[in-house]
Amino acid sequence: MNYLADVRTLARKDLLLELRARDTLPAMLLFVVAVFVVFHFTLPAHSSDLAASGLLWVAILFTALLGLGRAFVPEREQRTLDGLVLAPCDRSAIWLAKSLATLTFLVAAEVVALPVFALFFHGVDGSTVAGIALADLGICAVGTFLGAMAVATRARDLLLPLLFLPLAIPIVVGGVGASTASSPGRYLGLLALYDALFTLLCWASFEYVVAE
């Protein structure tokens, strides 16, 4: 239970920081709405609902990238990571807490984004919401992990999308399938499989990312 307490404390720190500084969530919200407006003008006048469903996933992915890019910035600027690594807790707790914090931001952004999408384009059904929920887990688990690596490199913000997008292709396939296919079960299964495999891998190997 000690582990969970560590995770809770660390996640609470990130949420509190966001609550006071408010520099990630408003940016994500504004970005996702702006992306929808841009999409409205990129889609030809009489394009199908299917095209809009595909673009919803692009919007989610890029909004998530915006949040993930910010995730480890406070750690870098304040040199918090050194302290966290020295703290007597399991290193994977740092990753888990940060993933939970980014997941909270992403879900909060989507709670606003989905009604806006429904208003601008078309309604979202249950399987789309289920797909988004499953995809969020994978996006945050893998994205936070890669964000921790990217922030330690020279290229920093430049590197995260390059590392993340090839890994996000199965998520996009599963997500678009869940929101457009007539039988979304298999796609949701793919998303669940992705979440399980990559969460396990991230959890097991995060130690090597922060340890010298």
Site residues for another protein per CB under 8 A: 149-150, 152-155, 159, 162-163, 165-167, 169-170, 173-174, 176-177, 180-181, 186-187, 190, 193-194, 197-198, 201, 205, 208-209, 211-212
Q: Report whether 169 contacts 156 (CB < 8 A).
A: no
Report, in Å, the least distance between residue 124 CB and another protein. Answer: 18
Report, in Å, the least distance between residue 45 CB and another protein. Answer: 24
CA dihedral sign, ordered 16, 20, 23, 26: positive
Write out the DSSP string of 126-190: HHHHHHHHHHHHHHHHHHHHHHHHHHTSSSGGGHHHHHHHHHHHHHHHHHHHHHHSS-THHHHHH
Report, in Å, the least distance between residue 201 CB and another protein. Answer: 6
Report, in Å, the least distance between residue 94 CB and another protein. Answer: 15
Nearer to another protein, 88 or 166 (CB): 166
Report, in Å, the least distance between residue 209 CB and another protein. Answer: 6
Nearer to another protein, 39 or 194 (CB): 194
- State the Cα–Cα distance between residues 3 and 81, nearest whole angstrom: 18
**Proportion of the chain in helix, strand, coil states, percent, rounded to 5:** 85, 0, 15
Which residues make Cβ contacts (< 8 Å) with residue 43, sequence separation at least 6? 51, 52, 55
Residue 197 CA, distance from chain mean position: 16
Nearer to another protein, 64 or 188 (CB): 188
Nearer to another protein, 8 or 156 (CB): 156
Report, in Å, the least distance between residue 193 CB and another protein. Answer: 7
Residue 19 CA, distance from chain mean position: 19
Nearer to another protein, 111 or 162 (CB): 162
Nearer to another protein, 22 or 186 (CB): 186
